Structure 1
Amino acid sequence: MKRTLPALLVCASLLTVAGPPAQAVAPSPVSHAVLEPVSYPASDLVPGIPRAQRAPAAQEAAGRAQTRGRQPHIEYVPRSEAVRHGTRAAACSRATGPFQRQAERYLRREVDGRQSAGDCRAIRRFQQAHRIAPATGFAGPVTGAMVRVMRAKKDPNRAGRCPDRRERTACVDLNRQLMWVQQNGRVIFDPVAIRSGAPTMETRTGSYRIYLRHRSHISNLYGTSMPFAQFFDRGEALHGVYEDIFQGAGSHGCVNLTWSDARKLWDLLRKGDVVYVWGRKPSV
């Protein structure tokens, strides 16, 4: 069944609810030489830095602080390795995350899918460089997403999925959860992370044109902010969010970007530019 226009104009994030948060416990130091690495699927992970329940105004204030680069991207980690704000640096994780192989390959480590002390140190440095916290070396879904972005920078359209046109074309790859802009065979906006529609509200695929732009759009249903909104199909838009782009199940169908990426995209695109969307959002 097609969604109604009021619902489509919301496109705010849907946050997953997994019951009351577990009490965070700082991990004990562990010797890699003594204990075998443990592998964790993404479904068994929790936010590495638990967030207290906030009122909507406080959430947006925190999001605005993130746009100024003060807030990290929160990685998902094993429950026993979650840490609190204000604690000393957590121990290097001995756990094997669901994106261990991808991290090993990008960081030019031995690709064996097993955490080692050397792997952990390399992944930890990568996390620190990209504001991923806690930077414990656990290759969770946020680290995996950032690895995808970095791997795509050299040639995002290597597979040729986005059409090469003379017009500015915003290429939205749902498979990899990233987007870029190209024109005349040249990338003019480097790949960035996105958050597309949540399950049952997937972002529609196809070729569209931007038909409406609103710099400070407010959702007409939930009253939430949609900064730098550029609508391309029956209410679905490219727009910024104030919360962490890697958190939550997804949007109501819009293509979410970080506030800073959405602002840069606003300055580049114009009404009538092409938006080309393909693929399907992965389950993790």
Structure 2
Amino acid sequence: MRRRVGVTLGLTGLVVPLTVALGGPARAASCTTRTGPYQTRVERFLGRPVDGRQSPADCAATRAFQRAHGITPAIGYAGPLTWRTMNTMLAQRAAGKTPNRAGPCPTNRGRIACVDLTRQLSWIQDGARLAYGPVPVRTGRDGAETRTGAKRVYHRNVRHWSTIYKVWMPYAQFFDGGQAFHSVTKSMYNPPGSGGCVNMRDADARAYWRLLGNGDDVYVYGRKPGT
């Protein structure tokens, strides 16, 4: 009877059996033996023994992480994109329940949705009180960045159809020239990013739908890693 081993994947707490993550024994050979430039940091993030040398177990754990978040090629190589994703997760963890500790998002406007592109985080403030979040988000890719500055929700559609990308945008709340909060089924860490919208997990997009309305403030700041 085959023994199944689980790998815990960072911030999401997702556990993926290695037999699934590797696509079964027949595909195990595609796991790289190369040691990546971020090997030590990736090992530490994944809770692996930290020796800076690639091993079959290191590769399997890294590959499971890559496949869970749509990072390609998912061959277990500890490269820049994998480490950038993990580093973003670490920054999100560090934010805890005080994402606005440094005060970049204005809190003198009543209810406001804050979007920190650098940490790929969003939350809702009611003045100085944290009303919801922070939650991970997926913002605009390089060349289609989510625009920074002070905005306001101006249009809402619970089941919007994008005529540009030919996809549904559930719980869409537009705040800047076609850029909107809305839910997606992808991982929040799936590269390279959105077409400019602030992608959210379904439960978070539903919460934003309940808490925000037309005219509510949105403030976007920072710079997404890799843009």
Structure of higher RCO (CA pairs closer than 8 Å, 6+ residues apart): 1
Q: CA deviation at 1:207?
A: 0.5
Name the amino acid aligned to 2:183. Answer: G
2:203 matches 1:265: no
Q: CA deviation at 1:233?
A: 1.2
**Which 5+ residue runs of structure 2 have no aligned equivalent?**
1-11
Gap change, CA 1:86 and 1:252, over 3 Å in 2? same
Aligned length: 199
Q: Is the CA contact (8 Å cut-off) linking 1:99 and 1:141 kept in structure 2?
A: no
Q: CA deviation at 1:189?
A: 1.2
Tell me which residue corresponds to 1:59.
none
- Output the TM-score relative to the length of structure 1: 0.55
* Alpha-carbon distance in 2 for matches of 1:247, 1:165: 34
Q: Is the CA contact (8 Å cut-off) linking 1:207 and 1:275 kept in structure 2?
A: yes
2:48 matches 1:84: no
Q: CA deviation at 1:142?
A: 3.4
* Residues 127-157 of structure 1 deviation map (CA, whole Å, 9 limit, x = unaligned): 99xx7799x8x66333333222211123211
* Alpha-carbon distance in 2 for matches of 1:257, 1:73: 21
Q: Secondary structure at the match of 1:229?
A: strand
Q: CA deviation at 1:170?
A: 0.8
Tell me which residue corresponds to 2:116.
173
* Alpha-carbon distance in 2 for matches of 1:253, 1:277: 12
> Among the aligned pairs, what percent are the same residue?
39
2:101 matches 1:158: yes
Name the amino acid aligned to 2:162. Answer: S
- Output the TM-score relative to the length of structure 2: 0.68
Tell me which residue corresponds to 1:254.
197
Q: CA deviation at 1:84?
A: 2.6
User: RMSD over aligned Cα, in angstroms?
Assistant: 4.2
Match of 1:204 among 127, 147, 158: 147
Tell me which residue corresponds to 1:18.
none
* Residues 90-137 of structure 1 deviation map (CA, whole Å, 9 limit, x = unaligned): 89x9956649659959x9xxxx995799xx7xxx7xx99xx7799x8x
Q: Secondary structure at the match of 2:106?
A: coil
Higher strand proportion, which one? Answer: 2
**Which 5+ residue runs of structure 1 have no aligned equivalent?**
1-68, 75-82
Name the amino acid aligned to 1:269. Answer: L
Tell me which residue corresponds to 1:234.
177
Name the amino acid aligned to 2:191. Answer: G
Tell me which residue corresponds to 1:149.
92
The correspondence of residues 94-133 of structure 1 with structure 2, limited to 5 A, is 95=35, 98=38
Q: Secondary structure at the match of 1:140?
A: helix
